């Protein structure tokens, strides 16, 4: 998995020391200007692993993962994003009900609405708390050589995120420092930036 950001942002990988069978992940602390949050990027393979028998194990492992990331957070908001191959556009499916229950347990909401795959299914998630306001748009990328051919069967999500404190005109708290191998994180101001993951 890959997570990258602009140079204007500070991103620090969080080592949770966990190996899970049903979900791949990368966890990182992101600091941009006065915004600070934990980004958890996840991937659940499709195909055979979509069998109903694997869903309870996946849900349990996601629960462990979220609990672990909460213990690492220093009061930061948590954003979970990635491709879970759950077909969340079909809310009556048992696996979708289990996933929504998991999010409710951790006071998170799935904010992606609509298809994120060319077969019309919602495979991708952007989950956050009610303290984060996000506008999400979905785009199909086309090949550079042939603009009539899609680059992938998956669509790209563009998420514009604002913390509730900023919406209310309040100053968000000063980011706390997370120790890294190079020493403590820098609290200097940074401009807004972009994050890419996949």
Quick check: 127 and 111 in contact, CB under 8 A?
A: yes
The domain locations on the chain are: 9-180
Residue 197 has pLDDT above 70, yes or no: no
For residues 39-53, b (16+ Cβ closer than 10 Å) or e, as one string? bbbbbbeeeebeeee
Name the residue among 57, 31, 27 with its Cα closest to residue 44.
57
61-91: pLDDT as tens digits: 999 999 999 988 877 889 999 988 888 889 9
108-140: pLDDT as tens digits: 999 888 888 778 888 888 899 877 877 777 777
Q: If 0-12 CB within 10 Å is exposed, 13-18 middle and 19+ buried, where does residue 144 land?
A: exposed
Q: Could you tell me the pTM of the whole model? A: 0.74
Residue 34 has pLDDT above 80, yes or no: no
Percent share of the chain, pLDDT over 70: 76
- Domain range 9-180, its CATH number among 3.40.630.30, 3.60.10.10, 3.30.1780.10, 3.40.50.720: 3.60.10.10
């Amino acid at each position: 998995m890959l997570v990258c950001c602009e140079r204007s942002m500070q991103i620090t990988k969080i080592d949770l020391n966990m190996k899970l069978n049903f979900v791949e992940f990368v966890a990182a602390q992101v600091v941009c200007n006065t915004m600070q949050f934990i980004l958890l990027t996840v991937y659940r393979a499709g195909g055979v692993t979509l069998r109903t028998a694997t869903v309870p194990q996946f849900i349990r492992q996601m629960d462990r993962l979220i609990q672990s990331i909460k213990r690492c957070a220093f009061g930061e908001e948590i954003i979970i994003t990635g491709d879970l191959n759950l077909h969340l556009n079909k809310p009556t499916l048992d696996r979708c009900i289990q996933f929504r229950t998991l999010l409710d347990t951790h006071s998170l909401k799935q904010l992606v609405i609509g298809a994120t795959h060319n077969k019309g299914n919602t495979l991708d998630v952007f989950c956050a708390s009610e303290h984060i306001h996000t506008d999400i748009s979905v785009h199909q990328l086309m090949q550079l050589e042939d603009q009539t051919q899609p680059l992938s069967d998956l669509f790209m999500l563009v998420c514009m995120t604002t913390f509730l404190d900023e919406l209310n005109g309040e100053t968000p708290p000063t980011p706390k420092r997370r120790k890294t191998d190079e020493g403590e994180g820098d609290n200097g101001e940074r401009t807004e930036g972009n994050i890419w993951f996949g």
